[in-house]
Amino acid sequence: MSTTSLPLTPSPVQERVSLKAIALVFLKLGTVAFGGPAAHIALMNEEVVRKRAWLTEQEFLDYLSATNFIPGPNSTEMAIHIGHRRAGWPGLLTAGSCFILPVAIVVTAIAWAYVRFGTLPQAEGLLYAVKPVVIAVVIQALWKLGRTAIKSKWLAAVAAIAVVLSAIGMNELLVLLIGGMLALVVKVKLSELQRQKASWAPFLVFSQGAAVAPAIGAAGLWPMFLIFAKIGSVLFGSGYVLLAFLRADLVERYHWLTQQQLLDAVAVGQFTPGPVFTTATFIGYVLHGGSGALVATLGIFLPVFFFVAVTAPLLPKLRSSTTAGHILDGINVASLALMGVVTWQLGRAAIVDVPTLLIAITSAVLLLTLRINSAWLVVAAGVFGWLHHG
């Protein structure tokens, strides 16, 4: 995240771009953009800055910086920003929808096959080896994001506090809120925070109790939409923070999914291009068929369109705000803490024997040292798992 004020510099190409051209570019990106948000953004830069000059390099960087100030997946937000910049409101809707559509279709097809054949040994073997790779991919994201987000000893302490709060079961939204407030308070008035730290204890005890909610039974379309809309409205940081929210709501709170099903959903997300948020499409299909896939996809992505549309005119002021910068520093490290805790919890379910342990370690080493595209590791692991259980 960047808290430096960067003026939104206008592109030298002022004419509007046709909706057809925007649709074709983002349908292509949504089809071939494997490798996570960083890879998506690199491909966007190639397509819209280098090849077509729709944006200047500086303008692209300005929008990329701005995506850190609102919830949601950064690469999808970048697509929406680019569409809006070059073709107004129709471009906003076209770019975002076309970036999401290809992978939503692919994930729905995979979910159909999973529901029908997922208990067969062949499918189990495939996912058996892919799940440890997923854990390695998240570890790589944690490492890379942590080096950027943890800028000081105090932010490291905020991250540690957030890990503890998440591990004891505090609601993930409260963990993010506390992380943001801690970072702000210490920047503004550290001495006052030290004098009043004893007053935090009752609040933390009360907050922990608020994390408990009764199970509501089988998933209905409206409750499902509300849950995914909530997640899409509050999720800062990497798309992998999504795992923490999904596990908290769908596995722990409402018991709609098993931990194994959640791991399967994340594994499918690694097979497919486009935004990680389409994991929601898979889960929606598993819970409620085609209508569930549609509802879950709409629920998790609609807030992204809304936030980009509302905040685009405010970005220069927001980015120049010292207060907003400090709060987002805290939210980012708290998001990493949530990622760390959920990675540990899911890792215990994914790494079940020596082969899966070796797969996880090898994948992590390759990702961190050679920077191999995670999609190739997922494919290789899937082939190994299929052969191993064949």
Whether 57 is in a domain gets the answer no
pLDDT for residue 303: 93
- Stretch among 276-285, 287-296, 330-339 having the lowest mean pLDDT: 330-339
Average pLDDT for the chain = 79
Percent above pLDDT 70 for the chain: 80
Q: What is the mean pLDDT of residues 33-57?
A: 81
Torsion sign, CA atoms 55, 56, 57, 62? negative
Query: Could you write out the DSSP letters of every residue in 14-42?
Result: -SPPPHHHHHHHHHHHHHH--S-HHHHHH
The predicted-structure confidence for 104-132, as pLDDT tens digits, reads as follows 999 999 899 888 876 545 566 777 887 88
Smallest Cα–Cα separation from 333: which of 168, 166, 133, 135? 166
Whether 137 is in a domain gets the answer yes
Residues 200 and 179: their CA atoms lie apart, in Å, by: 13
Smallest Cα–Cα separation from 104: which of 296, 305, 379, 382? 296
- Would the pLDDT of 6 be above 50? no
At 211, give phi and psi (nearest 5°): -80, -10
Whether 240 is in a domain gets the answer yes
The predicted-structure confidence for 239-264, as pLDDT tens digits, reads as follows 567 888 898 899 988 899 988 888 88
Whether 77 is in a domain gets the answer no
Nearby residues of 165 by Cβ (< 8 Å), 6 or more positions away: 174, 175, 178, 204, 208, 337
Residues 111 and 233: their CA atoms lie apart, in Å, by: 25
* Banded model confidence at residue 207, pLDDT cuts 50, 70, 90: very low
**Count of domains observed in the chain:** 1
Nearby residues of 242 by Cβ (< 8 Å), 6 or more positions away: 231, 235, 276, 277, 279
Ramachandran sector of residue 217 (left: φ over 0; alpha: ψ -120 to 50; beta: rest) = left
Percent above pLDDT 90 for the chain: 25
- Would the pLDDT of 75 be above 50? yes
- Would the pLDDT of 238 be above 60? no
Whether 54 is in a domain gets the answer no
Q: pTM of the entire structure?
A: 0.66
Q: Which domain holds residue 158?
A: 100-388
Nearby residues of 131 by Cβ (< 8 Å), 6 or more positions away: 263, 264, 266, 267, 349, 350, 356
- Would the pLDDT of 375 be above 80? no
- Stretch among 45-59, 118-132, 363-377 having the lowest mean pLDDT: 118-132
Residues 386 and 91: their CA atoms lie apart, in Å, by: 43
CA gyration radius for the chain? 21
- Would the pLDDT of 359 be above 60? yes
Q: What is the mean pLDDT of residues 10-39?
A: 78
For tokens 């000081």, the residue is 152
Whether 110 is in a domain gets the answer yes
Q: What is the mean pLDDT of residues 25-39?
A: 79
Report residue 324 as tokens: 């907003």
- The CA-CA-CA angle for residues 303, 305, 306, to 5°, reads 60
pLDDT for residue 385: 81
The predicted-structure confidence for 130-143, as pLDDT tens digits, reads as follows 788 878 877 877 78
7 vs 322, higher pLDDT: 322
3-class state of residue 338 by DSSP:
helix
- Stretch among 94-103, 175-184, 244-253 having the lowest mean pLDDT: 175-184
- Would the pLDDT of 155 be above 80? yes
- Stretch among 64-78, 177-191, 211-225, 331-345 having the lowest mean pLDDT: 211-225
Whether 376 is in a domain gets the answer yes
Whether 177 is in a domain gets the answer yes
pLDDT for residue 124: 66
The predicted-structure confidence for 323-345, as pLDDT tens digits, reads as follows 777 777 787 787 778 778 877 87
- Would the pLDDT of 373 be above 80? no
